[in-house]
Chains A and B, each alone.
Chain A
Amino acid sequence: MTHKITSSQTIGPFPHEAWRWAETLSQAGSTAAQRVTIAGTMFDGQGVPVSDGWVEAWTPEAVSAEGERPIPGFRRHATGEDGGFRLELSLAARPRPGEPVAWITLFGRGILKHQFSAVFLADAPGLATSDLLDQLPAARRDTLVAQHQPDGSYRWDIHLQGERETVFLDFM
């Protein structure tokens, strides 16, 4: 018999105190792995930065490299007043080609259901043959690709709505 699922409701504007523990712990501790920085801004459909959004990033391939950290492979960030977020991720020693550098989950006031997404590095090997990207409409694949910046970091903006709307995922 199939049990009927529990529906979703917005996280609202006030999760910060309750979610801070994991925000702090997920960014704490050292890693011997190679690091990568992905910075960006969460925008609404009017191009207004979302100042009370949340980004969770999960890199299962980096869990063993972060074995000394309190929550290995996981990051949680509140967006800033400017809608900005900055993910400092560990890279797997031998990443599987075509896998995203992180699986992403987004939350926010006015977002009635969390949204799943994923982020890839523009110069990662296997991008052209990624099984995940291959399942997306070709014209929208770029919305999951973080672009290399002159300082060595990557930029990835999230657009909740509109012409540049980020691809959100539902897993089978």
Chain B
Amino acid sequence: MQFDDVEPGVWPSGIHSPYLSTRSRGPLQPPVRVRAPVPANQGVAFVPSLVGAKDLDLTRQGQGAPLGEKILVTGRVVDEDGRPVRRSLLEVWQCNSAGRYWHQKDQHDAPLDPNFHGLGKMFTDDDGRYRFVTIKPGPYPWGNHDKAWRPAHIHFSLFGNVLAQRLVTQMYFANDPLFRHDPIYQSIPDPAARERLAAHLNMAYTDGGTALGYEFNIVLRGRDATPMGL
């Protein structure tokens, strides 16, 4: 595949000073653009048996139903030509409805839910579509600055079809009033690129009796895929 330069303002820069941890961790040098046929044309192979039914429904990983608002999240993963990124692995993780992660180092004074761990994984289908059921995550404080509260979000990790498509990002919920106060969201200079990280309520995916449906489409880098999607 071919990987063009990313438009200015779409990637966060290495250092975004209001997000304190970036000051000593963000690279100072720009990445070196290289011709490298292997990462541009091959990827990590994951076999379908790595994903089970419970991985797709984060509300069925405990002994009972978790607390909070059940939602369905779906969308398509495509490349820059709009071609589906087929049979590619996605991982998702998130805090619970009270804003607490199932993680020993999360000390936020909000309750854990024994029925919600917030861990999922799945493959895209032949149309690039993914779909999972979960609980809407809550906002939480993170200590970066006075009154630092993260907007509700779900973490996404995508492998794409080739290594150069690898992406880790966060899905937000459209029109969150915390966006303007969040230095992680604001680390993306281009406002349009920020807004592309928001999921939108979509009645077509909403179930009348059980869950609102949210749509979050993802575009990975890369053009000129072969007909097999690789």
Contacts and interface: CB of A to CB of B under 8 A. Distances in A.
B12 A113 contact: yes
B174 interface: no
Secondary structure call for the A interface: loop
B44 A73 contact: yes
Contact of A165 (B2, B28, B91): B28
Given A6-B167, A48-B24, A71-B44, A165 B29 contact: yes
A149 interface: no
Given A18-B119, A113-B11, A5 B220 contact: yes
A169 B31 contact: yes
Q: How large is the interface on A (under 10, 10 to 19, 20 to 34, 35 or more residues)?
A: 35 or more
A95 interface: no
In this complex, the member of A45, A112, A167, A170 whose beta carbon has the largest number of chain B beta carbons within 10 angstroms is A112
A22 B51 CA distance: 11
A59 to B, nearest CB: 10
Interface string B46-82: 1100100000000000000000000000000011111
B194 interface: yes
Given A113-B12, A135-B34, A46 B197 contact: no
A116 B11 CA distance: 14
Nearest to B6: A5
Given A6-B197, A8-B11, A14-B103, A170 B22 contact: no
Interface string A93-107: 000000100010101
A60 B230 CA distance: 15
Given A5-B10, A107-B168, A135 B35 contact: yes
Nearest to B216: A6
Contact of A6 (B19, B119, B190, B220): B220
A87 interface: no
Interface size band for B: 35 or more
Interface in B155-170: 155, 157, 163-164, 166-170
A18 B93 contact: yes
A22 B46 CA distance: 10
A33 interface: no
B26 interface: yes
A58 B35 CA distance: 18
Interface string A130-147: 011001110000000000
Contact of B163 (A17, A58, A168): A58
Given A71-B46, A132-B34, A170-B34, A7 B26 contact: no
Interface of B: 2-3, 6-7, 10-14, 16, 19-29, 31-36, 38-40, 42, 44-47, 50, 78-82, 91-93, 95, 101-103, 105-106, 117-121, 153, 155, 157, 163-164, 166-170, 184-185, 187-188, 190, 192-194, 196-197, 218-221, 223
The 6 closest A-B pairs by CB, nearest first: A110-B21, A18-B93, A112-B12, A110-B25, A170-B31, A9-B170
Given A2-B81, A114-B167, 7 more contacts: A6-B167, A8-B12, A17-B103, A22-B91, A110-B19, A112-B11, A112-B26
13 contacts: A9-B185, A10-B170, A18-B119, A18-B155, A18-B157, A19-B91, A63-B45, A103-B39, A161-B28, A169-B36, A171-B34, A171-B164, A172-B36
